[in-house]
Structure 1
Amino acid sequence: MSGSAARILVIDDEPQIRRFLDIGLRAEGYTVVTAATAEEGLAQAATQQPDLVILDIGLPDRDGHEVLAELRQWSQVPVLMLSVRDGEREKVHALDHGANDYVTKPFGIQELMARLRVLLRNRSAEPAAPPRYDDGHLVVDLARREVFLDGAALALTRKEYAVLAHLLHHAGRVVTQQQLLREIWGATHARDTHYLRIVMGRLRHKLNDDAAAPRWLKTEAGVGYRFVGGTAP
């Protein structure tokens, strides 16, 4: 993929970093979109459909790791993480949870450009599916993080929404309890199944979904859960 064909989203709260990257990327022929907060960045990722995201870990409204986790619920766009934190544990955590590369601030622009070129070359040619589910009753707009049931907006907590979005992204497939706990609560909570049971109970209640005769959320006894309402968005 050539620079002129690639759109890069930069999510960083430091104005000088955004300007620096904007100038450097445009000089290489890339189209650049910028965001200063996590919420703005997620909205831009959904509406601008970038070919690559440069994501700072230290954002003012939400941690970059949370942004990455939410983005991975509906997109496999390459993500290069930026951080002043240079510890090995920080890098491993980012890479294990969906980042494609990690660069420590301060960084050289030429090294960054080389890493971007590698990520863009390795990007799958498979187009991203639209981040929306609609079966005429349940609507889940993953881009806007909105859920409607028979036309009425549902007020879901962050955890309830995250569980629903993760199951929907893997629609038709079993997602284990441990996978959900690791992805949404973190690796240290992989055995805290009671957290997941409480959230699933509340989510089913809000969806009017009967566990004994599920319309959308099916329990796979002893294993995990499956979204059965349709195909993945």
Structure 2
Amino acid sequence: MRTSKPSVLVVDPDPQVRKMLAVTLSASQFKVIEAETAPEALRLAGLYQPDAMILETALTGEAAGGKQARSVNGLEVIRAIRQWSRLPVLALSESDKPDHIVECLRQGANDFVSKPFNMEILMARLEVMLRDRCVQEAGNSELHCGDIVVNLTRHDASLAGKPLELSPREYELLSYFIRNKGKLLTHRQILKTLWGDAHTHDRQYLRVYIMQLRHKIEPDPQQPHYIITEAGVGYRMDEPEPLPDLSVA
């Protein structure tokens, strides 16, 4: 459950920029979450479900498998997040070239501000993004799949009208599946989106969460109707056929 205080994930490799944004946002009654790298940004976005993100498009990050640190385009972060979330993203960049701005917006950023930026303008654009999101959520605040309902405003879920006791990670996983119901999601795709690049090979880690979630939403976890295993590839969220009404003669 979220508190009434809106939260913003600030992603920038420059600690001075993060500090400047954190001070201003905190003074404006925002809860601030900070990230320095692309993997950290994806992990914290999934963990905390912030109300908005301010993202530098030039990031550094450690590739999966312990490889040497490499430059990671912030557009990769936006693309990954757009697979499971409508999180408002304000892109930052030292480049103000039109083609770069257009590419950021096409990849899923809601707005763009070039560096050095005017803090008053940045805050105004952030407020507009948050206001637009409130309007959107008011008209589309739930996800449905069979008897499962996920409330995006309250961050809770129910099964056949009864509340589901889900951990934050289980809630994220269930929401991600329902947003992509009918689609085959690979192990790597799920792990990268919800856990970040460092966990793309942790299939056993994912299996544990799938098992826990099945025990909470499936009539028979051994013969699942919702979360279907595609052997060796990943999982697919199905919408079960409604049961026949036996009361009708």
Give the alignment's TM-score, normalised by structure 1: 0.60
SS of the residue 2:26 aligns to: helix
1:64-75 equivalences in 2 (<5 Å): 64-75=74-85
Using the alignment, how far apart are the partners of 1:53 and 1:151 within structure 2?
A: 26
Matched, 1:27 2:66: no
Matched, 1:106 2:132: no
Structure 2 counterpart of 1:230: 238
Runs (4+) off by over 2 Å: 128-131, 138-142, 145-153, 204-207
Structure 1 counterpart of 2:195: 144
Using the alignment, how far apart are the partners of 1:150 and 1:109 within structure 2?
A: 41
1:63-142 equivalences in 2 (<5 Å): 63-123=73-133, 124-125=136-137, 126=141, 127=152, 130-132=171-173, 140=190, 142=193
Aligned residues: 158
Deviations 1:11-68 (A, max 9, x none): 0000100000000101111110000111111111011110000010010122100111
* Residue 206 to residue 84, structure 1, CA distance change in 2 (3 Å): same
What one-letter code is carried by the residue in structure 2 that aligns with 1:64?
G
SS of the residue 2:92 aligns to: strand
Using the alignment, how far apart are the partners of 1:90 and 1:68 within structure 2?
A: 14
Post-superposition offset of 1:148: 3.7
SS of the residue 2:32 aligns to: strand
SS of the residue 1:5 aligns to: coil
**Structure showing greater Rg:** 2
Using the alignment, how far apart are the partners of 1:49 and 1:76 within structure 2?
A: 11
SS of the residue 1:132 aligns to: helix
* Structure 2 gaps, min length 5: 62-71, 142-151, 156-170, 178-185, 209-225, 240-249
What percent of counterpart residues are identical?
35
* Residue 65 to residue 24, structure 1, CA distance change in 2 (3 Å): same
Matched, 1:206 2:232: yes
Deviations 1:44-103 (A, max 9, x none): 101111000001001012210011101111111100000001000001111111110000
Post-superposition offset of 1:150: 11
Post-superposition offset of 1:105: 0.3
What one-letter code is carried by the residue in structure 1 that aligns with 2:116?
P
1:177-196 equivalences in 2 (<5 Å): none
SS of the residue 2:112 aligns to: strand
SS of the residue 1:99 aligns to: coil
Structure 1 counterpart of 2:56: 56
Using the alignment, how far apart are the partners of 2:206 and 2:123 within structure 1?
A: 46
- RMSD across aligned positions (CA): 2.9
Post-superposition offset of 1:206: 3.1
Using the alignment, how far apart are the partners of 1:46 and 1:152 within structure 2?
A: 18
* Residue 47 to residue 84, structure 1, CA distance change in 2 (3 Å): same
* Residue 116 to residue 152, structure 1, CA distance change in 2 (3 Å): closer
Using the alignment, how far apart are the partners of 1:116 and 1:144 within structure 2?
A: 26
1:147-166 equivalences in 2 (<5 Å): 148=203
SS of the residue 2:194 aligns to: coil
Structure 2 counterpart of 1:166: none
* Structure 1 gaps, min length 5: 154-170, 172-203, 210-215, 217-226
Post-superposition offset of 1:230: 1.9
Give the alignment's TM-score, normalised by structure 2: 0.56
What one-letter code is carried by the residue in structure 1 that aligns with 2:77?
V
Post-superposition offset of 1:151: 7.5
